[in-house]
Amino acid sequence: MKQIDRLQALGLFDSRVPRYTSYPTAPVFSAAVGAAEQARELQALDPDVPVSVYLHIPFCERLCWFCACRTQGTQTLSPVESYIGTLEQELKLVAPLLPKGLRMGRMHWGGGTPTILPPALIHRLAQAVKAVFPQTEDWEFSVEIDPTMVDRDKIAALAEEGMNRASIGIQDFDPLVQQAIGRAQPFEVTKACVEDLRAAGINSLNADLVYGLPHQTQARMADTVEKVLSLDPDRLALFGYAHVPWVAKRQKLIKEETLPDDLARYHLAGLAAEKFAAAGFAAIGIDHFAKPGDGLEVAARTGHLRRNFQGYTDDTCPTLIGFGASSISRFAGGYIQNAAATPAYVQRVEAGQLTGARGHVMSQEDLLRGRAIEMLMCEFRLDRTELRQRFGDLAASLDADLAQIAARFGDLVNLDAEALEILPEGRPLTRIIASSFDAHVPEGVRYSRAS
């Protein structure tokens, strides 16, 4: 049997499983966990351990049809400026609960389109965060950049506030593909943006690409990859397009008959990965790539790679505090998500309330299973010795799952007393294998496809 036939038989094209940027995943969160738990977790933070801070900017001038993020369109800055005021109020609500001396090791602005902010609002928001969270000496500040919504003045403002890593959304450079997903972004505009970022001293650049988009072919993907490599990025992410029109209504504008089929998607991803490898990039986890010596590559090579809501990261901060509508915080005791709809989020802040609306309190078993899943997603290897050292006898509760994995996936994995390893031939199935440890599978939730 051909390798692709075997992968297909094991569910590569049929399975819909989480991407595991958290465990449990967000659909498991409950409204029974919210602001009260959020307050307790904030007050319990260790002031000597830096935290990461995430700010969600849910506005775009255009709503790309392929996107399933929580965003809203606006043609004026009025709602954006009002929202920044709400973020400032939320920061002031959180500040009194934090232990004195707490510092920020990382900050990330996502969206939406953070670069919708003009320079004045960039400075205003950054200063509001820094007033609550002084940064560490090795602080990293990253921002998601839309090349069509940024200029030199905005880049200069971000650089002045300390941005040292930029994440460029590209998706695909082919005009036909761009037209089909509602995202016009000429290569020349993106190249000019990259040049401006480098000129401003930004020393780390990420680029995001998507496979499985309408009208993508091997030739078009190869051309896009060559153009991306010419921009000399430091890191690359290659995500599979998730067609979920029941979640993101705007995706109904994409004609399903124009989407590549399962086998074509698989080969598109393989083509891009091969070209990245030929260009000297190291493969990181299931969908990232980095230059040798980049922080992400070093983390992967030394066993310090982690996974969070932005994907793979070398962030060592154990706590992530999210601000803004729908943002999610990760604490030692679990997850807290802010009110998802912007009006509901604003209403809570204006009432002087913390914005946590749903979440999950972690049990020891959750922590065990979450670490097992993260190991597989990051290293393709579950270290049974580490789990036994950390969780004691509880680690044995995974034995039945491990045995089932070995029986189902055969010589695509290797299981012994020390570890479960996913061999290279089986790595396309990583998310499916990881899902074997998921004890929280909510009914009625349709996750993205595994391929």
pLDDT score of 23: 96
CA–CA distance, 422 with 401 (Å, rounded to integer): 14
CB 272 within 8 A of CB 238: yes
Separation of CA 344 from chain center:
24
10-48: per-residue pLDDT in tens? 999 999 899 999 999 999 999 999 999 999 999 999 999
pLDDT at 401: 98
Model confidence at 243, in pLDDT bands (50, 70, 90)? Answer: confident
Longest Cα–Cα distance of the chain, Å, equals 63
pLDDT of residue 231: 98
Name which of 77, 190, 55 is nearest 129 in CA terms: 55
Tell me: pLDDT of 236 over 70.
yes
**Looking at residue 61, what is its pLDDT?**
83
Q: Is the pLDDT of residue 168 over 70?
A: yes
**Mean pLDDT of all residues in 161-189:** 95
pLDDT at 1: 54
pLDDT confidence of residue 285: 97
Cα–Cα distance for residue pair 255/214, rounded to 1 Å: 8
The pLDDT of residue 31: 97
- pLDDT band of residue 450 (cuts 50, 70, 90) is confident
- Spatial CB neighbours of 118, under 8 Å, sequence gap ≥ 6: 77, 153, 154
Model confidence at 197, pLDDT cuts 50, 70, 90, reads very high
208 contact partners, CB below 8 Å, separation of at least 6: 167, 168, 169, 170, 171, 236, 237, 239
The pLDDT, as a whole number, for residue 134 is 98
Residues 122-138 have pLDDT tens digits of: 999 999 999 999 999 99
Give the mean pLDDT of the chain: 95
β-strand pairing of 320-323 with 51-57: parallel
pLDDT digits (tens, 9 = 90+) for 82-120: 999 999 999 999 999 999 999 999 999 999 899 999 999
324 near 55, Cβ under 8 Å? Answer: yes
User: 384-435, pLDDT tens digit by residue?
Assistant: 999 999 999 999 999 999 999 999 999 999 999 999 999 999 999 999 999 9
Separation CA 134–CA 116 (nearest Å): 25
Residue 46 parent element (H or E)? none
Check whether 68 has a pLDDT greater than 90. Answer: no
Give the global pTM. 0.95
Mean pLDDT of the 187-199 span = 98
DSSP state of 134: P
pLDDT of residue 336: 98
Exposure b/e, 20-45, CB count within 10 A at least 16 = b: bbbbbbbebbeeebbbebbbebbeeb
Quick one: pLDDT at residue 244?
80
> What is the C-alpha to C-alpha distance for residues 391 and 154, in angstroms, rounded to an integer?
48
pLDDT of res. 356: 98
pLDDT at 121: 98
246 pLDDT band (50/70/90 cuts)?
A: confident
Could you give the percent of the chain with pLDDT greater than 70? 99
Q: Could you identify the residue written with the tokens 């290797």? A: 414
Local confidence band at 309 (pLDDT 50, 70, 90 cut-offs): confident
